[in-house]
């Protein structure tokens, strides 16, 4: 028996050693590919692509469908489209009037000169093959940017895409002479990385085998104990995503496996992803001061017990506000039936807010919600108590201060510029249900499985658009916003917010209150009791969501964790995610 155990241990050790060796080999290969990628031309410094909005970017794959990995990686950075042309005539006849940037992917030199000289829009050529014939200066100069990729394998395609969007810098030089104009050691360089890079743990001296085994064990155990049906997990350090994996399914029927593009209801993570960046931008534009009163901008709070509440107090949950209010109960009588004139079974001009199938709410019901908040009692002491209530009101304030529609202001100033098209309110306007994780089977209010509409009962009364909940998203796009915060306001070569603004909003504001301005932070006295790892620094910040979502950034350690899930499926009574301490265990392992 003892000999068997020794042999088993040796077998496991050999397996791990082989796996580690394979991962180290892969990383060495990845470094070699990065060093072999050569930038031959970069007119007007078109690379790396910086401003991706409002650009329409089109990838044209010539005579081959090989470049799917290239397209998929480009889509992680921007909302790009791809077409495949099999003949030069198809290319010549294409309507390119609405295209702002064209990326041509090819593995042949056939017609590349002719294609280049017929492009009148900014363009990039990716040549995914080792040149078997000389590439002339005229061919290279037919394009604004010319990238020699040496191979069309998956890794070369993925790295080329990352270099185009500035996640990896160009540093490679020619190993052989390709023409009289491009000799050995020729190659242009680009500056420092500007976007998140997708890499392997070994680049950060992390053992792939170890971390995969540990995280797989934690998550698969949680799924087996019905803590949640599936999840997305993303881990990054120093701007490099070294772990990005999906687990399980959207439901327990094991039909739709979780995919990178799938959207989850973010619940209270909405607070720091939607109203908060808008407020920070308006704050630094001096549209309001943190010690201004909310009632200065909302008339219905004047002459109420909330007249003197300041932004600083409300954003730190130190405003004596009730934790939450069950607004949906105002729609029902004591027997649980909908009151007359509250809900219609068919959509009309005035009853046009769809809260469920065959259930439509009056379009002005938000006024009732606001008034209930204004009329609600205050807590007796002015101390920390987490509350949703002020966050219901921030979209209204943002519209008054910006003089723009709240969603438009948010999308155009942040999500579209940062390349986060999968952060949205009301996802059914943009995506199919099959790409959205369902949440709770609501038996007390809406009487159906909530799927594609916000889980939160208060947010749905505001047509799914609120400051406290309502946002849907995936791990990849959440990471872009959190990395921008981690960079103190910059991402993709663009400054979104001043570093001083981020430092103020991510700092503790009151003694005995763990909150920053909107952001959650480490517990000051007992960090081991928080959702984040006790090993996270005091400068770290993030938020959790009722549906199980967790985002956390640590500037001191340059660490980022994103976790999306639907632990409320099929019922919010499921507490196993918390009981098993899944998020904190992963976060601690990360450190």
Interatomic CA distance for residues 332 and 338, integer angstroms: 4
Q: What are phi and psi of 429, to 5 degrees?
A: -70, -25
Q: How do strand 490-491 and strand 57-62 relate by DSSP bridges?
A: unpaired
Within 8 A by CB and 6+ apart from 523, the residues are 514, 529, 530
Q: Flag the least confident range among 79-88, 161-170, 415-424.
A: 79-88
| Cβ partners under 8 Å of residue 575, min gap 6 | none
Superfamily of domain 216-590: DD-peptidase/beta-lactamase superfamily (3.40.710.10)
Between β-strands 230-237 and 145-148, what pairing exists: parallel, antiparallel or unpaired? unpaired
The 10s digit of each residue's pLDDT in 201-245 is 999 999 999 999 999 999 999 999 999 999 999 999 999 999 999
Q: For residue 218, what pLDDT is reported? A: 98
Question: What is residue 11's DSSP assignment?
Answer: H
Q: Which two tokens stand for residue 76?
A: 């992680």
| Residue 153 pLDDT grade (very low, low, confident, very high; cuts 50, 70, 90) | very high
Model confidence band, residue 289 (pLDDT cutoffs 50, 70, 90): very high
The pLDDT, as a whole number, for residue 3 is: 55
Question: Which pLDDT does position 24 carry in this prediction?
Answer: 82
How far apart, in whole angstroms, are the C-alpha atoms of residue 452 and residue 432? 9
Residue 452 has a pLDDT of: 98
Q: Which pLDDT band holds residue 524 (cuts at 50, 70, 90)? A: confident
Each domain of the chain, given as residue ranges in start order, spans 1-32, 37-194, 216-590
Mean pLDDT of the chain: 94
The confidence score (pLDDT) of residue 521 equals 97
Give me the mean pLDDT over the 523-551 stretch. Answer: 92
pLDDT, tens digit, 9 for 90 and up, residues 346-392: 999 999 999 999 999 999 999 999 999 999 999 999 999 999 999 99
Span 126-140, pLDDT tens digits = 999 988 778 999 999
Three-class DSSP category at 162: helix
Fold for the domain defined by 37-194: Rossmann fold (3.40.50)
Q: How far apart are CA 50 and CA 191, in angstroms?
A: 12
Q: Please give the full DSSP string across 286-300, using - where no structure is assigned.
A: TS--TTSBGGGT-GG
> Which of 12-26, 49-63, 233-247, 272-286 has the least mean pLDDT?
12-26
Examine domains 37-194 and 216-590 and report if their fold is the same: no
Answer yes or no: is pLDDT of 251 > 90: yes
CA distance 336 to 329: 9
Q: Which are the contacts of 86, defined by CB distance < 8 A and separation ≥ 6? A: 63
């Amino acid at each position: 028996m003892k000999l068997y155990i020794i042999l088993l241990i040796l077998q496991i050790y050999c397996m791990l050693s082989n796996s580690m060796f394979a991962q180290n080999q892969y990383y060495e290969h990845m470094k070699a590919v990065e060093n072999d990628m050569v930038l031959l031309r970069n007119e007007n410094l078109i690379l790396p692509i910086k401003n991706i909005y409002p650009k329409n970017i089109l990838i044209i794959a010539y005579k081959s469908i090989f470049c799917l990995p290239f397209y998929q990686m480009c889509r992680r950075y921007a909302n790009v489209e791809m077409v495949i042309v099999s003949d030069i005539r198809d290319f010549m006849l294409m309507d390119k009037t609405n295209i702002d940037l064209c990326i041509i992917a090819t593995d042949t030199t056939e017609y590349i000169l002719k294609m280049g000289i017929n492009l009148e829009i900014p363009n990039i050529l990716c040549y995914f093959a080792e040149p078997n014939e000389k590439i002339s200066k005229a061919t290279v100069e037919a394009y604004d940017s010319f990238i020699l990729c040496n191979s069309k394998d998956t890794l070369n395609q993925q790295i080329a895409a990352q270099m185009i969007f500035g996640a990896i810098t160009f540093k490679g030089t020619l190993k052989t002479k390709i023409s009289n104009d491009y000799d050995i050691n020729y190659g242009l360089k680009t500056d420092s990385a500007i976007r998140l890079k997708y890499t392997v743990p070994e680049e950060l001296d992390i053992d792939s085998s170890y971390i995969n085994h540990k995280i797989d064990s934690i998550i698969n155990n949680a799924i087996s104990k019905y803590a949640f049906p599936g999840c997305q997990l993303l881990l990054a350090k120093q701007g490099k995503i070294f772990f990005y994996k999906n687990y399980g399914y959207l439901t327990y029927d094991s039909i739709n496996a979780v995919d990178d593009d799938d959207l989850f209801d973010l619940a209270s993570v909405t607070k720091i992803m939607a109203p908060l960046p808008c407020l920070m931008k308006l704050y630094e534009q001096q549209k309001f001061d943190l010690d201004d009163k909310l009632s200065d901008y909302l008339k219905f709070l004047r002459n109420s017990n909330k007249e003197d509440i300041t932004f600083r107090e409300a954003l730190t949950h130190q405003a004596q506000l009730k934790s939450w209010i069950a607004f949906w109960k105002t729609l029902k009588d004591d027997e649980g039936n909908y009151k007359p004139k509250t809900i219609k079974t068919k959509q009309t001009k005035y009853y046009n807010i769809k809260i469920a199938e065959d259930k439509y709410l009056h379009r002005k019901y938000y006024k009732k919600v606001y008034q209930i908040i204004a009329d609600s009692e205050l807590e007796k002491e002015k101390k920390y108590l987490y509350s949703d209530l002020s966050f219901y009101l921030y979209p209204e304030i943002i519209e008054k201060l910006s003089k723009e529609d709240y969603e438009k202001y948010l999308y155009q100033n942040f999500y579209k510029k940062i390349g986060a098209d999968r952060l949205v309110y009301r996802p059914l306007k943009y995506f199919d249900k099959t790409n959205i994780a369902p949440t709770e089977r609501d038996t007390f209010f809406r009487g159906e499985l909530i799927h594609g509409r916000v889980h939160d009962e208060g947010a749905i009364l505001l047509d799914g658009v609120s400051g406290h909940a309502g946002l849907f998203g995936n791990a990849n796009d959440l990471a872009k916003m959190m990395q921008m915060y981690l960079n103190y306001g910059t991402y993709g070569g663009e400054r979104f917010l001043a570093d001083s603004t981020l430092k103020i909003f991510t700092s503790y504001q009151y003694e005995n209150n763990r909150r920053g301005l909107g952001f959650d932070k480490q517990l000051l006295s007992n960090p081991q009791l928080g959702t984040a790892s006790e090993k996270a620094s005091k400068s770290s910040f993030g938020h959790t969501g009722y549906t199980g979502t967790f985002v956390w950034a640590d500037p001191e350690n340059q660490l980022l964790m994103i976790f999306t899930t639907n632990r409320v499926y099929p019922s919010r009574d499921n507490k196993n995610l918390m009981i098993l301490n899944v998020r904190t265990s992963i976060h601690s392992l990360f450190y």
